[in-house]
Structure formats: structure tokens, C-alpha cells
Amino acid sequence: MSREIQLLGSPVLRRKSRELTPEDARLLEDVLRDMKRIIRQEDGLGLAAPQVGESLRVFILRPGSLPELGVRWVFVNPEITTSGAEARHEEGCLSIPGIYESFRRPSSVAVEALDEELRPFRLELDGLASRAVQHETDHLDGVLFIDHLSPVKKRLLRGKLSAIRGEAARRGQLA
């Protein structure tokens, strides 16, 4: 099975993902292999399993992209707690190509997750790393960054969003 980026309109992007269990180890290995290939190919910062068609609670951040992550790049079954003042920054998404918008998110996050070997870890992050973790965790809950935009912004983007949904339909992702 060759996984590909799911575009806006694909139902998997709007589902709450299921947690992984130790019995999912082989599936996790398979999904992570494809996710790592896709994130390199697309030059993305982060990628969640729903974005490659798998309704699983796992995301990755591009290895080596954020020094504050250290060796951590795989986040399985993440739980986050946000804190700090809200900061406005621009975000984009591989599932909504070509659209970048600014909005507010809390500036800090504490994340508890499992790594690729299903070993627990905890990180406290600020800045871009915090924002990336929040963005990818949203994906696991069926939330897209455009959901954080004002109704006016969404209306202004309607044509572009419709075109992306059309491409998803052409790829057969709406079934």
C-alpha cells in the first residue's frame, strides 16, 4: 500500500484518531516508514498519521528540524497541556497546500508521548516547536488549522479551499 498526502475533503482528516497499543507495533513501523519518506519528499516540518490516510494517534516532526526536540521526532498517543501567552504566527499544512494564515495559539506546550519504541517521554516546548506539536495534535483530533481562522478569513479562502477539495476528489480521497 502506497500512502500519500490526504487533502482537505478527505474524511480521515476530520476523524478523531485511535490510540495505538503494543499490538500495533508492526503497523506503527510501517506507517512511520511512509511518513518519514513523505515528510522528506514534501519538505514539511510535521506530519500526522491522518494526513497519510491512517486514523492513528501518531505524528512526526522532521528529524533535526527543531533542536529543542533533541532525538525526539516520533510522538505516539501524545497528550498536551498548553500554557503561556497566546502568540500570532503563520501556519500552513501539507493537506491544505498553498494556504498560509496567521492566528493565535498558546506559546508553550508540555507534551507526554511514546516514542517509536513505545517508551514514554515528556518535553516542554516553546516557540515553533510548541506550535508544531499543537498543530499536529489537532490533526489527531480531526481539527485543521483553518478551523482556527475567523469566518471572514474562511470566506476569503473559500475558492482556494474548494479547489483543494476538487483535487482530493480527483485523487479519489473523498470516498
- Note if 91 is an active site residue: no
pLDDT on residue 1: 61
Q: What is the pTM of this model?
A: 0.95
**What average pLDDT does range 134-147 have in this prediction?**
98
CATH number reported for the structural domain that contains residue 68 in this entry = 3.90.45.10
Transcribe 129-172 into DSSP letters: HHHHHHHHHHHHTT--GGGGS-HHHHHHHHHHHHHHHHHHHHTT
Residue 174 is which amino acid?
Answer: L
In a domain, 175, yes or no: no
pLDDT on residue 68: 87
In a domain, 1, yes or no: no
**Angstrom distance (rounded) from CA 44 to CA 136:** 12
**Angstrom distance (rounded) from CA 162 to CA 165:** 5
CB atoms near residue 67 (< 10 Å):
7
In a domain, 93, yes or no: yes
Domain that holds residue 123: 11-170
In a domain, 4, yes or no: no
Provide the domain count of the chain. 1
pLDDT on residue 16: 98
Active-site residue (options: 54, 91, 101, 136): 136
In a domain, 122, yes or no: yes
Q: pLDDT for 14-55, tens place per residue?
A: 999 999 999 999 999 999 999 999 999 999 999 999 999 999
Q: pLDDT for 107-126, tens place per residue?
A: 999 999 999 999 999 999 99
**Angstrom distance (rounded) from CA 104 to CA 90:** 9
